[in-house]
Amino acid sequence: MNIVFIASEASPLAKTGGLADVVGALPRALMNAGHHVTVILPFYRRELYKNNIVATALDQSVEMWADGVQRHCPLHEVRLNGLRYLLIEQDDLFNREGVYGPAGGAYEDNLLRFVLFDRVALEVGANLGEPIDVLHCHDWQTGLIPLLLKTQYQHHANIAGAKTVYTIHNLAYQGVFPVLWLHRLGLPSHHFHLGGLEFHGQINCMKAGIAYADAITTVSPTYAREILTPEYGCQLEGFLHHHVERLSGIVNGLDVEHWDPENDVVIKENYGASNMAGKAVCKIDLQQHCGFSVAEDIPVLSIISRLADQKGIDLLISNVGRWMARGYQLAVLGSGDLHSEHVLSSLAAEHGGNMYFYRGFDEALARRIYAGSDIFLMPSRFEPCGLGQLMAMRYGTVPVVRSTGGLCDTVVDYPSGKQQGTGFHFADAHPDAFDAAVESAVDAFRNPTAWSRIRTRAVKRDSTWESSAQAYVQCYESLID
Ligand code: ADP
């Protein structure tokens, strides 16, 4: 099949979260399965520079009207491991601080930015030279593509017959904008109704993706069920029910070559399932880096996360006092909401020597934390799939997770199934329930035989993309048939 991914981020070019991990790895898994895949992204000049990615300027560009301005959009190309990325340049829109906004916020003209990107991406797709079988779109930034394709791009022979797949990576970010943009951006206004892109009098890009894509997927089977309920549906549960025959859940894999403790060049010493000795060296490295006392028998807890309500950071904060009183060590890496950043900084100052907080986004530090800690915390209120727990397990760090979404589907609770357990679950989004699960994990940590079994199972867990990529292929094929 000839498959085109259109997305707003992809690792290692530009990353704010799990979406980038997926768009960075799934196309390669599809390519390895024999398909032809191209990935189209915005040209984030400063992110590429930061990530040491060199793009080649192509002798091609697209002219596009948007909001009363004719824009000239040059194209760039990156080739990585045999995969082709086409990048759309528009420096005043994409060469900014942050992918979606400064310091985790959102730019006011985000709809302009991504509608322009969507339209140019469709033009680029139409001119790739071969008819496209599948256009795979992701999250609200590309939610309008199925509608644009069906209404305004039918004259392009190479793209008119493409099937669209829309993947919801996080239903909480829907891309809702004032209706005035409808006319300013020339969106098909006859689709601004209850069954289309209208949402309480505003434009909702995610709703448009759900309404017009040929197939809708989300990133785990449990989340696919959860979003049909008022608790997780973010006010779209009724609408999703209406389209439920086209909805399925396919759990994310992990780029196991990029995240591999046996070959990771950042961590202090490499290790793997058959020889975990290097992990102890990585723990010492982390303890030293964080200013903790170096001791093998002290459990090092960690969290690497966007600091957002979704991630249950309040549950973490509520427990810091008691974990410090018990002598545990805690390493936190994250950025996001200013209140959480402030509270975590104060707690780290108060408990210096046992708690460390680094505010920012830093993949190298993330790797050292995944490798050097014992227990990884994911107290998420909801979690479509979650990549952090997959990375933690791959690095032999046992996850404590709230049983929701993809965390249910990827981490096996040790207390409920001792022979298969790879981590610890808790159900209530309450600090006491979270603490009880951490205590179970610490008890297991203090039993070297049990701990080594849990850890080995976690490292050996098959998180490769192969079976999930196969599920996407089946989804694509069912549309083409
Ligand atoms: P989400 O996409 O909701 O943020 P996921 O667990 O799906 O959460 O993916 C998060 C990804 O971002 C993981 O690869 C994680 O390692 C990475 N990450 C999150 N915060 C940071 C940070 N501050 N520094 C480096 N990597 C981070």
d(CA 385, CA 393): 14
Spatial CA neighbour of 462 closest among 422, 404, 424, 435: 422
Which secondary structure element, helix H or strand E, spans residue 289, and what is its range?
Answer: helix 277-290
Peptide bond preceding 261 in cis form (omega within 30 of 0): no
Q: Output phi, psi for 236, to 5 deg.
A: -110, 10
Q: Which atom of ligand 1 is nearest to the CA of 363?
A: 25
Tally Cβ neighbours within 10 Å of residue 56: 10
The Å distance, Cα 384 to ligand 1 centre, comes to 13
Distance in angstroms between the alpha carbons of the first and the last residue of the chain: 12
Write b or e for each residue in 196-235: b if 16 or more Cβ atoms lie within 10 A of its Cβ, otherwise e. bbbbeebbbbbbbbbbbbbbbbbbbbbbbebbeeeebbbe
d(CA 403, CA 429): 9
What domains can be seen in the chain, in order of their start residue? Answer: 2-253+466-480 (3.40.50.2000), 277-460 (3.40.50.2000)
Q: What residue's CA is closest to ligand 1, atom 26? A: 363
C-beta of residue 290 within 8 angstroms of C-beta of residue 356: yes
Peptide bond preceding 74 in cis form (omega within 30 of 0): no
Q: Which residues approach ligand 1 with their CB closer than 6 A?
A: 17-19, 21, 170, 304-306, 333-335, 361-363, 366, 385-388, 391
Q: What residue's CA is closest to ligand 1, atom 12? A: 17
Angle of CA points 203, 205, 208, to nearest 5°: 95
> Could you read off the pLDDT tens digit of each residue along the chain, which spans 481 residues?
999 999 999 999 999 999 999 999 999 999 999 999 999 999 999 999 999 999 999 999 999 999 999 999 999 999 998 999 999 999 999 999 999 998 778 999 999 999 999 999 999 999 999 999 999 999 999 999 999 999 999 999 999 999 999 999 999 999 999 999 999 999 999 999 999 999 999 999 999 999 999 999 999 999 999 999 999 999 999 999 999 999 999 999 999 999 999 999 999 999 999 999 999 999 999 999 999 999 999 999 999 999 999 999 999 999 999 999 999 999 999 999 999 999 999 999 999 999 999 999 999 999 999 999 999 999 999 999 999 999 999 999 999 999 999 999 999 999 998 789 999 999 999 999 999 999 999 999 999 999 999 999 999 999 999 999 999 999 999 999 7
Tokens 């707690």 identify what position?
A: 347
d(CA 171, CA 175): 10
The Å distance, Cα 388 to ligand 1 centre, comes to 6
C-beta of residue 454 within 8 angstroms of C-beta of residue 421: yes
Which DSSP state fits 413?
B
Ligand 1 pocket: which of 305, 341, 394 to mutate (most atoms within 8 A of CB):
305
d(CA 359, CA 345): 8
The Å distance, Cα 16 to ligand 1 centre, comes to 7
The Å distance, Cα 304 to ligand 1 centre, comes to 6
Which DSSP state fits 220?
-
Q: According to the model, what pLDDT value does residue 359 have?
A: 97
